[in-house]
Amino acid sequence: MNRKIVLDEEDIPKSWYNILSDLPEPLPPPLHPATKEPISPDDLAPLFPRELIMQEVSQERWIRIPEEVRDVYKTYRPTPLIRATRLEEYLKTPARIYYKYEGVSPPGSHKPNTAIPQAFYNMKEGVERLTTETGAGQWGSALCYATALFGMKCTVYMVRVSYNQKPYRRILMETWGGEVIPSPSNRTESGKKVLEADPDSPGSLGIAISEAVEDAAKNEDTKYSLGSVLNHVLLHQTVIGLEAMKQMEIAEDEPDIVVGCVGGGSNFAGLAYPFIGLGKDVKAIAVEPVACPTLTAGRYEYDFGDNAGLTPLLKMYTLGHDFVPPPIHAGGLRYHGDAPSLCLLYKHGLIEARAVKQVPTFDAGMIFARTEGIVPAPESNHAIRVVIDEALKAKENKEEKVILFNLSGHGYFDLAAYDDYLNDRLADT
Ligand SMILES: *Cc1c(COP(=O)(O)O)cnc(C)c1O
C-alpha cells in the first residue's frame, strides 16, 4: 500500500458540491443591515460579481468548475492524501490516520481553492481591483496570488497584530503585487472610529472586514472578496473532500472520524461536507480555539459579519460582532462567527465541536513535525490536537478507528510562533 495517494490532473473535480441542496432545513436568509429584511441578490451587487451572488443562493447540488479555474488548480491539485504511519507508530495507536495536505499550494494553504475562482469571476465581469481582510496573512496572500494570475489589483487590510507578528506574509503579498494596510487604519471611516476609541487596538478580522467592505462599496471598479464563511466560499473548498473521497477509495478505507480546524469553517467544510452530504456515515469534528469559542460558547442568532455592522446579518453561532479575541498565533481562527451552513449542521447535531487551548495545540504540532516532518500552520495544529486525542482514545478502547483530517496549511511563515513555544513564551489566557 502506498503511503501517499496521488491522483491525476484529470481527477480534479469537474464540479463543486453544494451542501445547500442537502441541508435538514433551509438556511435562514441573510438580512439587510439597515432594514433587517431578507436581502435580495441586487443588494449584494456593489460588493460581489453576479456569478458569485448566484452561487451564494444556488440550491443546485453540483456547480460546474470553469476550465480556466481547473487549469490554475492544476498547478498544485490534486493535493496528496498521506497516511500518517509515523505518527501512528509514535502514538502506538490501532487507529489509521490520514491527512489531506493543502499546504502544497503556492501560498501554502487551502485558501487559493476559492481565491482562484473568485478572482476569475470578478475578472470576467470587468472588475479591476479586489479588497479584502486577512488575519494571519493566509487569505491575503491567497488572494494576491490569484489576482496576480488574472491581471488584477488587490488591497489587503491586515489585522495589525498579525501585520506586526508576520512580516514575511506581508512581503509575500507584496511580491504578488498586493497593497497591504495594517488594520485598523486611517483609510476608512470604520478604521478611524476604532482608532479614536483605542489607538493601540490590535485589530480583529471583524474590523478589517469593515474596512475592506467600505473601500469596495465606495469605488466603482472595485469589489470585495471574503475568504471564508459565505456559501460560495465553502462551495469552492469542496474540491478537498471530493478528491479525498476518491483517494480513500484507492486506499480501500473509509473514515469514521473527519477533523478540521474552524476559523469561519471553510477548510473543515471543504473536507467534511462531501462526506456528510453525500451519505457517508462519519463523525465530523470542528475544532476551534478556547480563545475564540464560537460554536462551543457562542449564541445562535443573527449577527453582523463585521465589527462596524456594514455587512448583512447572518444567522450563526456568534460571540458578538464587537468581540475582539486575544492575540493567539492562530490568527486565521480569530473570527467571532462561523459559516451559517456549518452552524445549522451543528444545531442539528450533524457535526461536533471541540475547543482546545493554544499550548496543547503546539504540543500536538510538535509531535506531528517530529514524526511526519511537515511543520503545520498554528491553525492546523488545532485539528492535529483532536486527531491525537481521538487516536489515543482508540488505543485505550482497542478500536481500529479511521481518522481523516485536513492539514489546512504549512507553518513555514509562522516560525516566530514556534520560537515562542520552544522558549516557553506561549501563554494560555
Ligand atoms: C485561514 C485558515 C484557517 C481557518 O479558516 P477556515 O475558513 O475556517 O478554514 C485554517 N487553516 C489555515 C492554514 C488557514 O490559513
Distance 262 CA to ligand 1 centre (A): 7
Structural domain that includes position 260: 4-8+68-109+232-422
Buried b (16+ CB within 10 A) or exposed e, 381-411: bbbbbbbbbbbeebbeeeeebbbbbbbbbbb
- For residue 327 and ligand 1, the question of a CB distance below 6 A is answered with no
Sign of the CA dihedral with 194 first, then 198, 199, and 204 last:
negative
Determine, yes or no, domain membership for 94: yes
pTM score of the predicted model:
0.96
CB 385 within 8 A of CB 366: no
Q: Over the Cα atoms of the chain, what is R_g?
A: 20
* pLDDT reported for residue 429: 64
What's the CATH code of the domain at 304?
3.40.50.1100
**pLDDT greater than 90 at residue 339:** yes
Q: Which residues, 6 or more positions from 151, have their beta carbon under 8 angstroms from its beta carbon?
A: 123
Which atom of ligand 1 sits closest to the CA of residue 265?
A: 8
Quick check: is 287 in a domain? yes
User: Does residue 384 form part of some domain?
Assistant: yes
Residue 39 has pLDDT above 80, yes or no: yes
Residue 115 lies in a domain: no
When mean pLDDT is compared across 93-107, 191-205, 338-352, the lowest value belongs to 191-205
Whether residue 381 has its Cβ less than 6 Å from ligand 1: no
3-state SS, residue 278 = coil
Q: For 359-379, how does the pLDDT look when each residue is reduced to its tens digit (9 = 90+)?
A: 999 999 999 999 999 999 999
Q: Determine the atom of ligand 1 nearest the C-alpha atom of 102.
A: 13
Whether residue 412 is contained in a domain is answered as yes
Give pLDDT, residue 205.
81
Q: Answer yes or no: is 41 within a domain.
A: no
Which of 100, 96, 84, 81 lies closest to 371, judged by CA?
Answer: 84
- Check the CA dihedral 157-158-159-163 and report its sign: negative
DSSP lists the bridge partners of residue 99 as: 82, 405
For 18, residues 6+ apart whose C-beta sits below 8 A from its C-beta are 58, 59, 60, 61, 62, 63, 231, 235, 238
Q: Does residue 359 form part of some domain?
A: yes
How many A from CA of 365 to the centre of ligand 1?
15
Q: Is 255 helix (H, G, I), strand (E, B) or coil?
A: coil
Work out how many domains the chain is built from and give that number.
1
Contact present, 277 and 396 (Cβ < 8 Å)? no
Tell me the per-residue pLDDT of 404-420, one tens digit each, with 9 for 90 and over: 999 999 999 999 999 99
What separation in Å is there between the alpha carbon of 332 and the centre of ligand 1? 5
Rounded distance from Cα 19 to ligand 1 centre (Å): 19
In this structure, the number of other CB atoms found within 10 A of the CB of residue 31 comes to 17
Q: Which atom of ligand 1 is nearest to the CA of 409?
A: 13
In a domain, 276, yes or no: yes
